[in-house]
Amino acid sequence: MTVRGLDPGATEDVQTLRTELDELLRARRYAAQREQRLTEALEGTADPELHRQLAQIRTLRDGLGARHLELSERLLALEDHRREQTAVPVQRRPTGARFGGAYEASAAPQPAPVVTAAPMRGARFAGVAAPEPAAPQPEQPEQPAQPPRPRAPEPRSAAELAALAARITALHGQGSAQESAAVTAQAAVVLAPADVARLIALLRTEGPAGAAGYLARAVAHGAAGQAAGTLAELRRGGLAEEAAALFHALWGYPAAELPSLLAALEQAGLSADSLTLLWEWGSAPPAELATLADHLRTAGRTEDAYRLLHQAAGRRTDELAATALQLDAQLAAALTQQVARLRSPADLAQYATALTHSPTRYRALLTAVATLDEGRHRAARAALRSVGLPLGP
């Protein structure tokens, strides 16, 4: 019989589908994180660019959901088909809502052999493996857990990439825009960086309008090494427009992953891009700016944290004060030192006024003023005195 959704002659491997589903789940997680971040950023603002990005990520999320459903159904059908090929007498069973209550043949229950149960895997179990009974083992000294190293994606042939580009184009042409977007987004985080760049080149010349740029931007939802490696490949391949699209998408990278992204860019020979990103992130909202600086310092990139605050020192004084109040004492003092050195006495007085309800932050400002050269020191003290602020504890 023909199992619904499965070509009888298909040779698709179950493990390949499971791997693809795992990769798709990672892509969906990145999309969800990005959507949450944009939603938080939109609170209290009507920025049209943020609204555009939010609509785009929701489309991506929906497309990934559609793709996940398709792969899940294909895996279920393939597993059922293989089970039927080795089964004995069959009985009719309902397949559930996914087939509209239809019935199809399945093997009748057989007595369970007395063996250790294999772990349950596959889409229907959400990739969760059941624990296997283990025989008692002699006690061993406890070893520190080592995180598994991510496996590098296998390179794809020119024929495979051409077939993938053709599939994306065909889905789009058939009106399945969401599924086309889902396949594209999955390729962005699953293929090796060199293959992503090659696929972008194919879509640029043969694919739907905007598909190459969409694929480039979707890379920003993947791991830091994937993003940095793809950016380097795009630059080497002369795909300047798509490289710019990816680089701009990196401005919205999750704050917790910023240190990893900067390290990956430097490793890929793109140190200038990491400095540019720090400059861009210097305009982040105060709470986000404080979070970014904290993540950098925690990851051991203290100089980058200071560089980020230096980039921010030219902003409005009320925003700078709001940032200082959310930073810890060390980073707040670093920001205040930059404000004292770079801003006019009048600006410094406005900044100081906003800090007066935090004695520790105001004392840090007085300390910063005391380190200035003689001329700036006198001018700063005069500006503070003119607005009625104390010049000592």
**Intra-chain end-to-end CA distance of the chain, in Å:** 87
- Residue type at position 304: D
Q: Give the three-class secondary structure for 279.
A: helix
* pLDDT for res 151: 66
* pLDDT for res 166: 92
Question: 108 pLDDT band (50/70/90 cuts)?
Answer: very low
Q: Give the three-class secondary structure for 57.
A: helix
* pLDDT for res 113: 34
The H helix count followed by the E strand count for the chain is: 17, 2
* pLDDT for res 98: 31
* pLDDT for res 377: 93
* pLDDT for res 110: 36
Q: What is the mean pLDDT of residues 224-232?
A: 95
Nearest partner of 310 among 347, 338, 344, 345, judged by Cα: 338
pTM of the entire structure? 0.60
Q: Tens digit of pLDDT for each residue in 8-45? A: 444 456 667 666 766 666 666 666 667 777 777 777 67
Q: Tens digit of pLDDT for each residue in 140-184? A: 444 444 444 556 778 889 999 999 999 999 988 888 888 888 889
Non-local (6+) Cβ contacts of 312 within 8 A are 282, 283, 289, 320, 323, 335
For residues 48 and 101, give the distance between their C-alpha atoms in angstroms, rounded to a whole number: 45
* pLDDT for res 139: 47
- The 10 Å CB-count burial string (b at 16+, else e) for 99-112 is eeeeebebbeeeee
Please determine, for residue 80, whether its predicted confidence score (pLDDT) is greater than 50. Answer: yes
Please determine, for residue 227, whether its predicted confidence score (pLDDT) is greater than 60. Answer: yes
Mean pLDDT of the chain: 77
Beta bridge partners, 103, equal 94
Kindly write down the DSSP assignment for every residue of 182-228, as one continuous string.
HHHHHHHHHS-HHHHHHHHHHHHHHS-TTHHHHHHHHGGGS-HHHHH
> Residue 55's Cα: distance from chain center in Å?
16
